Amino acid sequence: MDKVLKRHGRIDILVCAAGSCHSAGLGMLSDADWDDEIGTMLSGTFRCLRACLPVMIDRNWGRIISIASDIALLGSAEYPAYAAAKAGVVSLTRSAALTGARHNVTGNTISPGWVDTAMARAAIGALARTEQVEPQALLDALTRLMPRCRLVDPDEIASIVVHLCLDTSGAITMQDIAVDGGARWYMDRLEVAQ
């Protein structure tokens, strides 16, 4: 942050996009894995917000976008630390939005479903090992449950980030935007139907 301020004299946009994922249920999750995920995602977001928000407030303009997850609101038996950290990121970002609201500083979260990244592929692989199935078979089963029958492309997340950074997006704040191809809506209804 000091380097950015020295070079540019301001910080306009903060995107908190850290991720760490350990597949272990509550009974098997180690303290070290819990601390890693909470530290990386939730504490990391806190430290970035603490550093950048006052600078944005002083300039009377800023955009904060944090990447959360669809399981932040749903919870997860397989990834409880990830779900808890991302739920905290949603709440913390909304708190920053409230703090900056009168100073033209917005704060929003984006909650993707399964995004086609190396981390998601590794998580699917770990889950496949737990379930004793082939990773591709699990991926195929997951995507069949999704209305669009595919993982989210990282560029689809990036385009929402860019939109939220515009001057014309100043009225969009304290929102959690699902970018999952309708999977959250569909999977919620599928669980009710079963």
Domain boundaries, the chain: 2-114+152-181
Per the residue annotation, which of 82, 94, 109, 146 is the catalytic one? 82
List Cα–Cα distances, 1 to 13, 38, 52, 60, 82, in angstroms.
12, 22, 8, 18, 26
Here the tokens at position 59 are: 């300039």
pLDDT, one tens digit per residue, over 2-34 is 899 999 999 999 999 988 877 777 888 999 999
94-116 b/e (C-beta count within 10 Å ≥ 16 → b): bebbebbeeebbbbbbbbbbbbe
Here the tokens at position 40 are: 């990386």
Cβ atoms of 124 and 164 closer than 8 Å: no
Q: How confident is the model at residue 193 (pLDDT cuts 50, 70, 90)?
A: very low
pLDDT, one tens digit per residue, over 46-78 is 999 999 999 999 999 999 999 999 889 888 888
The answer to whether residue 89 scores a pLDDT higher than 60 is yes
Other C-beta atoms closer than 10 Å to the C-beta of 129 total: 13
- 82 catalytic, yes or no? yes
Q: What is the architecture, at CATH level 2, of domain 2-114+152-181? A: 3-Layer(aba) Sandwich (3.40)
Torsion of CA 66, 70, 72, 78, to 10 degrees: -130
Q: How confident is the model at residue 184 (pLDDT cuts 50, 70, 90)?
A: low
* 62 phi/psi in degrees, rounded to 5: 180, 155
- Nearest C-alpha neighbor of 157 from the set 106, 115, 187: 115
Helix extents (H) in the chain: 2-8, 31-37, 44-59, 71-74, 80-100, 118-131, 135-144, 154-164, 183-193
pLDDT, one tens digit per residue, over 132-171 is 989 898 888 888 877 788 888 999 999 999 999 999 999 9
